[in-house]
Chains A and B, each alone.
Chain A
Amino acid sequence: MSLANLKTEQEPVLQHPPDLGLGEEESYLKMITKRFFKHRLAVVGLVIFIVITLMAILAPWISPRDPYEITGDFAAEPSAEYWLGTDQVGRDIASRLIYASRVSLAVGIGAVAIYVVIGTVLGAIAGYFGKWVDMCIMRLTDVFMSFPYLMVILVLVSIMGPSLYNIIIVLGLLGWPGIARIVRGSVLSIKEMDYVKAGITLGYSTPKIVFQHILPNCLAPILVNATFGIASAIIMEASLSFLGMGVQPPTASWGNMLTEAQSLTVLSTQLWLWIPPGLMILLAVLSINFMGDGLRDAMDPKSLK
C-alpha cells in the first residue's frame, strides 16, 4: 500500500512511448528484463517467491503429514518426527505452514487481479471521457480512499462472514482506487498524443482506442502497483486471520497460526507455534516488495537510455 504510491502515483508518465526509437517490442522487454536482473535484491526476491510458489503447488507431495491430521502429541516441541513441532490441537506445524502458502498466494493474486481490472476500467473511463464522468469517478475514489483500509475491510468481512473467498472479494472490491488514479493520469497524458488523435480520425471505436492503443502504454505503472499490492494483500489477510476475522481454522493460514500466541503462556514457552509462521509472512512479503522495487527501477522512464 504505502510503497506502491512511491513515485508511480505521482508520475504516471508513459513508460514506452512509441517515439522512443527502441525498435521492436522485444527489445523493450529484453531491456527491462536485463535491468531487473541487475537489481540484486529483486533477484533474491524472485528466487524466494518462486520457492514459495513451488511450495504452494507441491504442498500435497512435500508436506510431511496431513495438515488436518490430529496426532496424539499436543504442542510437541520440534523433533525428528515433527520438524517444527505440533500445535495445541496436535497438528503438524510444518505441514500447516506449507499448506498455508496456498491461502496467502490465493488472496494476494486473487484480490489484486480483481482490483486491477476494476481500477483500470474506472481509471480509463475517467481519464478518457473527462468532464463530469471524471468528476464522479474521482470523488468516488476519494470516498474509498478516505476510509482506513483495514478498518473497513474488518467491518465488511465480519458482515459477510469471515472466509477465504470473502476476503478475496472484499480486498478486491476495495483496493482499486490507487490503480484507478494511476491509469487516469496515464490516459490523460496519452490521449493528447498524435497517434491517439490519428486513431480517432481513422474512426476507430472508443473501446478499441482505449483498450488497444492507450492502455498498453500504462502497463508498467499498473504492474509495479499490482506487485506491491500482492504484498499488502498478503499482510492484510494475515492480519485479519490473526484477529480471528479471516481464514478460519482448521484451514491453516500464516495469520491464524499466530492467533494462539496472544496468550502469554504460548508466547513465552511455545516459540515454535508462532515464530515460523511469522517469519513466513515476513519472507513472502519481503520477497514481493523486493521484486516490486526491482520492477519499478527497471521500468523507470527517467533512467531509459
Chain B
Amino acid sequence: MFPYIVRRLLIAIPVLFGVTVFSFFIVNLAPGNPVEMFISPDATQADIELKKEALGLNDPIYVQYWRWLQNLLQGDFGYSFSTYAPVGEMVASRVLPTLLLMGSALLLAYIFAIPIGVISATRQYSWIDYLTTGFSFMGISIPNFFLGLGLIYLFAVQWQILPSGGMNTLGGDGGFGDTIMHLLLPAFVLATGIAGSMVRYVRSSMLEILGQDYLRTARSKGLREFLVVNKHAFRNALIPIITVVGMDIPLLIGGAVVTEQIFQWPGLGQLTIQSILSRDYPTLMAINFIAAITVLLSNLLADILYSVADPRIKYN
C-alpha cells in the first residue's frame, strides 16, 4: 500500500504545477490595469509607469510567474492591489469562517443523508422512497441563492427568529451561541445540495449491496434484518461513498461563494467576489490556489482512504 500512496503523491506534483501555472496565467490575462485602481486621478503617465515598475508589472509574464512561485514557496502571496495588506494575512483571516461554514454544512448533510439513503434503499418503491427521492432531487436542483433568499425571507423577515446575515450580531457580545444562530441558515443552504446527491449515492450503493449473494446467506442463516442491513450491508455500501466525499469538496467551495455573498458571511467566498470587483489579482490567485490545493489533497485523501477501506484493491 505504501508504494501506492507514494505513486499517488508523485502524480500530484505535475498536477500541482499545472494548478499554479493555470491560476497565475488566467488572472494575468485580464485586461485593465490594476495600477489605475489606487492611483489618484491627477497622476501623470510617468507616475503610473513608476508604480507599474515598482509592482513589477512591466516584467515579462514568465518572470512575474517565477517570482510569484518563488515567493509562494516561501509562504508569501504578495500584496493586495486594493488594500495593500499582505494577501496571506487577508486570506488567512477568512479561512476559519469558511472552514466553520463548510464543516458544519458537511456534517449536517451527512448526518441526515446517510440514514435517509439507507432507509430509502431498504424500502425501495415505498412511499417513503418516493418522498426522499423527490426531496433529494429538490435539494440538488434548487439554486443556493434562491433557497438562501427564501430562508432569509421566512426566518429573518417573517418570523424573525434567525439573523439574516453576518457572523455575529453587531455590537453583541459575539459569543459562541450567537455565531451558531448566524451559522444555521447558510450551513443549511450549503448542506441541501450535498445531502441531495449523497442520499442518491447511498441509496444506489445500498441497493447494489442488498442484492448480493452474501446478504442472502446472512439472511438464510437467520440473522435479524436489522443486523443484515446495518452491519453487513451498510459497511460495504460506505466504501464507494468515500470517493463522493472527496468530490463534494469542490462543490462546497463553489457553493460557498454564492452562499457567503447572500448571508454576508465573512469567508473566502465573499473575499472572492470582493477581489473580482476590485480586480485584486494577487488575492484571486491566492484563493484559487488554496482552493485547488484543498481539492487536490481531499481527492488524494479519498483515494488513499478508499484503498485502506477496500482490501480487494491491489496496489501495483
Instruction: Establish whether residues B146 and A281, one from each chain, have CB atoms under 8 Å apart when the complex forms.
Output: yes
B1-28 to A contact mask, C-beta < 8 Å, 1/0: 0000000000100110011001100110
Report how many A-B pairs have Cβ atoms within 8 Å.
Answer: 157
Instruction: Establish whether residues A267 and B262, one from each chain, have CB atoms under 8 Å apart when the complex forms.
Output: no
In the complex, the chain A residue whose C-beta lies closest to that of B142 is A282
Q: Is B143 an interface residue (CB 8 A)?
A: yes
A109 to chain B, nearest CB (A): 18
Instruction: Establish whether residues B201 and A6, one from each chain, have CB atoms under 8 Å apart when the complex forms.
Output: yes
Q: Which of A147, A239, A290 contacts B145 (CB 8 A)?
A: A239
Instruction: Establish whether residues B258 and A243, one from each chain, have CB atoms under 8 Å apart when the complex forms.
Output: yes
B273 to chain A, nearest CB (A): 7
Complex: A281 Cα to B144 Cα, angstroms: 11
Q: Is B104 an interface residue (CB 8 A)?
A: no
Q: Is A206 an interface residue (CB 8 A)?
A: no
Complex: A281 Cα to B141 Cα, angstroms: 8
Instruction: Establish whether residues A155 and B288, one from each chain, have CB atoms under 8 Å apart when the complex forms.
Output: yes
A146-162 to B contact mask, C-beta < 8 Å, 1/0: 11111110111011000
Complex: A282 Cα to B145 Cα, angstroms: 11
Instruction: Establish whether residues B140 and A151, one from each chain, have CB atoms under 8 Å apart when the complex forms.
Output: no
Complex: A68 Cα to B243 Cα, angstroms: 47
Kindly list chain B residues whose C-beta atoms are within 8 Å of the C-beta of A3: 140, 197, 200
Kindly list chain A residues whose C-beta atoms are within 8 Å of the C-beta of B118: none
Kindly list chain B residues whose C-beta atoms are within 8 Å of the C-beta of A139: 11, 14-15, 18
How many chain A residues have a CB neighbour from B under 8 Å? 50
Q: Which of B134, B243, B253 contacts A151 (CB 8 A)?
A: B253
B136 to chain A, nearest CB (A): 10
Kindly list chain A residues whose C-beta atoms are within 8 Å of the C-beta of B194: 2
In A128-155, which residues have CB < 8 Å from any B CB? 139-140, 142-143, 145-152, 154-155
Majority SS at the chain A contact face: helix
Q: Known: A159-B29, A282-B142, A286-B141. Is A145-B157 also a contact (CB below 8 A)?
A: no
In the complex, the chain B residue whose C-beta lies closest to that of A284 is B141
B122-141 to A contact mask, C-beta < 8 Å, 1/0: 00000000000110011011
Complex: A164 Cα to B254 Cα, angstroms: 20
Instruction: Establish whether residues A289 and B18, one from each chain, have CB atoms under 8 Å apart when the complex forms.
Output: no
Kindly list chain A residues whose C-beta atoms are within 8 Å of the C-beta of B142: 282, 285
What are 18 A-B pairs with beta-carbon distances under 8 A? A2-B197, A5-B247, A145-B295, A146-B19, A146-B295, A147-B292, A148-B253, A148-B292, A151-B272, A235-B141, A255-B145, A262-B149, A281-B146, A282-B141, A285-B143, A286-B141, A289-B140, A293-B137
| Contacts from B to A (Cβ < 8 Å) | 11, 14-15, 18-19, 22-23, 26-27, 29-31, 133-134, 137-138, 140-146, 149-150, 152-153, 157-158, 164, 193-194, 196-197, 200-201, 204, 240, 243-244, 247-248, 250-251, 253-255, 257-258, 261-262, 272-273, 276, 284, 287-288, 291-293, 295-296, 299
